[in-house]
Amino acid sequence: MKTREVSAYIERREAGLVRDLQVMVRVPTVNPPGNDYRKLADWLAARCAGLGLEAVVHQVPEDVVRRAGLSLPRFNVLARWPVSGAPVVHFNAHYDVVPAAGQWRGGDPFAGEVHKGWLYGRGSGDMKGSIAALLMALEALRRTGRQPAFGVECSFTADEETGGELGAGHLVRQGLVKADYAVVCEGASGNRVGLGHNGVLWLEVEIEGKAAHASSPEQGHNAFEAMAELVWRLQEWKQHLQAPARRWRDPNGQDRWPTLNVGGVFGGGPGDKVNTVPARASFTIDRRVLPNETMPKVEEELRAALSRAAAPLHQVKVQVHTRLRIDPCMVAGNGVLPRAFARAVQQVRRRAATYSATRGFTDLHYFVAEGGLPGIGYGVRGEHAHGVDERVGVRELVQTAKVYAEFMERGI
Ligand SMILES: [Zn+2]
């Protein structure tokens, strides 16, 4: 019975939920480079304080930011609703968004316009929509005079779109997360509860040759041609990743194999000209790491493959740099957290809940692997994340807010 009151409150406040999301979409927290972080962090802290939570904005120390090669400041928000004697559940959401390009509906990707039941805008689905739903769940409990069944700790963090080191990673490593369980508000949606995600390894391969006039190419070492050869050999090696033994079955029963994307970014050097033998060439590799693999082994294997592919290229120097490592993450579905969350999902969505693991990566691994917490992923189901006309359904926002509220009321 009491659950219905909270649901009814959320239904009545649909317009407020939409407004919160519009406010957030209109602050273009684009990363890279990390624009307007302070502005949104302050708004989030004020919104939480308005709900009676203890809210603090943490600035990442400047020297840490500088060492990470970044120039704009980084902020994370922590907010708490303590409940004495109860366990604490941490809800995490990132507030940064990827850059927007292309032809958007209405022209402006940061307008947050609503059209036929959809709210459009960069970050509407990934993942400011989940933040709006979470804030509404907290508001609904507060305004109907209820206390959550567990202590609630929320973090709104920076930089997930570039790996999350100074966002969720920083909070976990600084010991600022003081919780027993973690819910990362993305990574699954609808009637699915996320138990994990793929990892990712980014490498950059640099080939250094020797420049010469194009009229006497024999006096140079062509870095581009060497790169082409190397990439060709890598394509052959890539077949190994399809071997049956590499297969991983996700919690939904679907088979998954490791993937390799070559040349997402590639280029030459500063002295490039049509009539110059290119002295420099580079390309990137994105290797998705399955939950049944480990990062050190994957990296070692890939670097060995690159060495073999480069071995016949005597005249150029090949260097491999690691740009990003994110571990895969997978928790068991029979733990108390996934089961409790699944019950809340089932209650609101009126369908049996199932478990899944996203192919992308989220910040969940920081909480699970480094924070040692049982964790799951769940948030709004948006469309066209990272693409043109990213959007989220207004009903979907409401339903997700109800799931969070139901979970908070029921407890673990
Ligand atoms: Zn995201």
How big is the chain, counted in residues? 412
Query: Tens of pLDDT along 26-57?
Result: 999 999 999 999 999 999 999 999 999 999 99
Query: Tens of pLDDT along 321-375?
Result: 999 999 999 999 999 999 999 999 999 999 999 999 999 999 999 999 999 999 9
- 186 CA to middle of ligand 1, Å? 6
pLDDT, position 96: 98
Average pLDDT, the chain: 97
pLDDT, position 4: 87
Mean pLDDT for the stretch of residues 46-72: 97
Q: Phi then psi for 207, rounded to 5 degrees?
A: -115, 125
Query: Tens of pLDDT along 179-217?
Result: 999 999 999 999 999 999 999 999 999 999 999 999 999
**Hey, how many other C-beta atoms are within 10 angstroms of the C-beta on 102?**
8
- What is the DSSP secondary-structure string of 194-263? EEEE-EEEEEEEEEE-B--BTTSGGGSB-HHHHHHHHHHHHHHHHGGGG-GGG-EE-TTS-EE--EEEEE
Tokens 């947050």 sit at which residue?
A: 112
Report DSSP state, residue 150.
S
Walk me through the domains of the chain, giving residue ranges and CATH numbers: 2-197+328-410 (3.40.630.10), 199-326 (3.30.70.360)
Give the residue from 305, 298, 231 showing the smallest Cα distance to 261: 231
Res. 271: pLDDT tops 90: no
**Residue 143, both tokens:** 């305004």
- 229 CA to middle of ligand 1, Å? 36
pLDDT, position 3: 65
- 242 CA to middle of ligand 1, Å? 28
- 284 CA to middle of ligand 1, Å? 22
- 403 CA to middle of ligand 1, Å? 19
- 168 CA to middle of ligand 1, Å? 12
Query: Tens of pLDDT along 88-140?
Result: 999 999 999 999 999 999 999 999 999 999 999 999 999 999 999 999 999 99
Query: Tens of pLDDT along 222-264?
Result: 999 999 999 999 999 999 999 999 999 999 899 999 999 999 9
